[in-house]
Every structure is written in C-alpha cells, then in structure tokens.
Structure 1
C-alpha cells in the first residue's frame, strides 16, 4: 500500500531528474500522481510533452496511477489548470511538490536582464502560482467542513541558503522560495496544510558538471549523487504522517538528511538613544566579534566575519 496510499500528488518539473524520481516514488507508495513538465532544455529553451508523458506511462506500467500535464507553472492560468487537472482526474489534491526550474549561470557583471527575469520567473513565480491555487482549493475545502491534510514541499537550494558564485539569479530565487515557505507555513496551518522545503544535492542536467566525479562508492555501489536519494524525504513530507512538521528547511544529499537553520536574531547592542555614526564603528566591531562567522558562499573561500 505505501505511506501515501490514496493521496493525490502534483509534482512539477517531473519529466526528468529529481522531479521524475519524486513522481515515481510517490506512485510506488500508493499515490496518484499528476506529472507536470514543460519538457524544456536545461536553460529553459524549447518544450515537449514527451518527458511528462513518458514518466506517466512508466508509472502506469508498474501498476500505478498517473496523468501528464504540460502546463507552465509560472503562468497564472497554467498553474490554475494544474490544480484543476488533479481534482478532475482524481477528485482531490493532497500534495503539491514544487520542483520545476532551470539555470542560466553567469557572473553578475555578465548577466542579462533576460537571464534574471527568466530564472526568477520559473523558480519563484513557478512556486508561488501553483501554491496560491492549491491553497485556495484547500481553504475552500476547509471552510466547507472537510478534514484537510494538505502538504506542500518546495525546492530551494544550498545556493539559496548560502549564495553561489555565478548564480545570482538562481540564488536570489531560491532564497525567495525559502522565505515563501516560512510565510506559507504560518498562513496555511489553519486550513490543515503544512509547507516545508528541501535543499537537495544531486546529479541532474543542471548539476552534472558539478557532480560529474561524485559517482558510486566502489565498496557499496551506492551513488550518493543519484537524484533518487532525494525522493524518500519528499514522499515522507507528503504523507499524512508528517502533519507535525511545517515551516522547515531540510538539506538532503545521498544518505544524509539535515535540518537547516536560517537567519536568527543574534547579538545586539543598545546605546539607549540614536547612534552617532562615529560611535557605530567600534560598537559594530565588538558586536561582530561576538557573533558566529557567516558560512562561506559556494564558490569562495571562507570569508572573515
């Protein structure tokens, strides 16, 4: 039966890579899956219904239930259709996994306006729009007296948590997703919905150059960078068992799962009045000396605090 038996799940960007593994594992665990993917290239170019159709067919091939969707998740009406597809096909929606995205990596001084707009659109708006329509659906069900057990799993990144050289657009969008997750968790709990996020590390079309050398461990045959390693966490977060967990960020790589802790109120100093600019230098120097040093940005050496 599996831990998600009978649940209805939408997975965006499910035609390849991490999203494909999410869709397959949800189906193995008894869920009925809407496989969403535009079928674009790694940089968001082109498009084809083939990848989503192939994953849906693969699921049906091993006895699961799945339908394909080629809606653009960053399009307002497309995101609404995606939610309606789940409800029309299976009568309900229980889980939304926001995963779709692509990269256009450039150093900041070389990045174009289009590079910025396209990446922020697909990642950040592509999370918000399906979340907004799914939330409206769950709110209506809750107000109608139904017992809602809704789950949202967003996809951030280590780049969004710590920054990444050459990925200002991607890192900013992923940082936005982290904040969106916290706000949505606070707002949607009243309707029976939890919202969490993951920051996965795996070998996909977007990261194959970075992780090309991270292959299977010879002694065990375990491929720590295989995208299938991410799916078990996401499937558990999508299950009914995870109702006590919300507003959290999980990092996952290979067999390692950790809870990421973000910005927190740190050491403070109060002069009791308005600061003089000349007095702030010594005060901030002392303040920074009592604070933990920041984590280094990916692609840099550790920086002084």
Structure 2
C-alpha cells in the first residue's frame, strides 16, 4: 500500500525512482479506508535527508500511511530553508489538538549538552507529555531515544571517551520474544553515530522497560516500554549506506581528525564504497512497529478529547 506525502516534497523524486508506491492527497482522499496517521518530529539538521530515510522505511508495509512533519517552534534550523519548513512542516501548536496513530522523534546533534540546556527542551517535554494520551506508539531514534529515557524513565546519558561511530553486531534478547523483534536475526548489524551512551544496568533495573537488543561494543540498541507505547532505538538503523561516510568526511573537513567508523569501510579504506548491510533489518523493524504497535493497537476512531497540559 502507498505512503501519502505532499506532491512537491523533494524526497518524492528519489523515492519514486526506487519504485516506492507514493500517493498524493487528492487520490488518498478517494480511498475508502482508514489510513494510519504518522507524525514525524524531525530534529535532524539535514531535514531533507532524514525525510527520505524515514519515508523509505515507512513505505515497506501493506498499510496506507499518511505522514506529517513537525519542527520545533523554539529553535530555528540553520540547515533547511524557511520555505521548506513553511511548506511541508507544522509546529506543535498546529497539531496538539489532533490524535496520531504513531509518532517518530528523530535524533539531534545536541547530545553533549545536558538535556535541560537544549534550547527546545521545554517544547520537547511538552510534546512527549502530549504523546502519552494522543499517540498510540512513539518511536524514538538516537538522541530522541536518550531524551525519552530521561524524560519518561529518569535514565540519564553519559559521555563516551570518543565518538561511537560504525556498524556493530547486536544480539536479540531471547528470554521473552516480542513482536517488535519478530523475524530479526539472532545477531544483526546496525549503525551508531553518537558521543554519549546509556547504561544497560539502568535499563534492566527499570521496571517499566525491557531491553530487546544490545551490542558488546555499542551497548543497548533497542528498548521498549512494557506498556508498548514507547520504543527507543539508540542507533541510526534508518541511515543509508553512505551516511556515516558523509559524516566522517564532514568531520575531516572541519579539522576534527575523527577516527574511522568501525567495521564500515571495506578494508578500512575511506576511499572504498561502504555496503548497506543493515537494510533488511531496518525495513523489518519499522514494519513490525507499524503493524503490531500502531495498526493493531490504535482505535479505529479516536475520541475527541486530548491532553495538552
């Protein structure tokens, strides 16, 4: 089934070349079905790239998905045009009266700051509080996952000695199989790109959380709340094959002298094109989230009440 996005969204041309089934508003409105409403709070600096990555993964499902994008009103992004934001994005004040079947909160390049020092932290906490009663299930990615663990469950992040960058093997926890990891291999690869981490012990001690996948090198990757409303992915499983290479070259240009991403470039040579070795796991994880935690759990008709306090 298709994913419904605005006709003029720049990501459309790339996704159509990949034979992803897209639908415009006019045609979607004629369908006699109840599509899923997904809200994406895009905190990434390169918003158009993040749009493309997430839309690609949301498209691999038999469900029709209507996507809306949201940006923070309390911080003005410097890496995207105002016209792009005004045309394709909404602010919280424009959506807080609505209900959504699912929401995605992306990562953000602010992880070295204490949460309370992030310029839009108060706005983000209002959104996360609102999501408790206005969103069926929320997927949090990288810094978004750390923010959710801190706000909802009181688990803080800690600084790493060096930036964690690379593609790492992870293993699923087999003590209690869950629908989110259904079909995932016992071990699978996923990218990470961050300066901070979260404690496995803190997650395991929290009675509201279940650790679903982790890495001996990169730590916890996949965490779910026991009420299944919040899912946290500490890595960037949505990344394209070349994203870590682009970040590495950016840091080289800035004079940061970064380490090579681990287990990423063939033969550890940055001139070699990296392979996309986590694509199938990313598609499966997003499909499981949409099917089991959004579609099968959301009411056909939301009530008209909401909670914005």
TM-score, length basis structure 1: 0.40
Query: Using CA pairs below 8 Å that are at least 6 residues apart, which structure has the higher relative contact order?
Result: 2
More helix by share: 1
Q: Who wins on radius of gyration, i.e. which is larger?
A: 1
More strand by share: 2
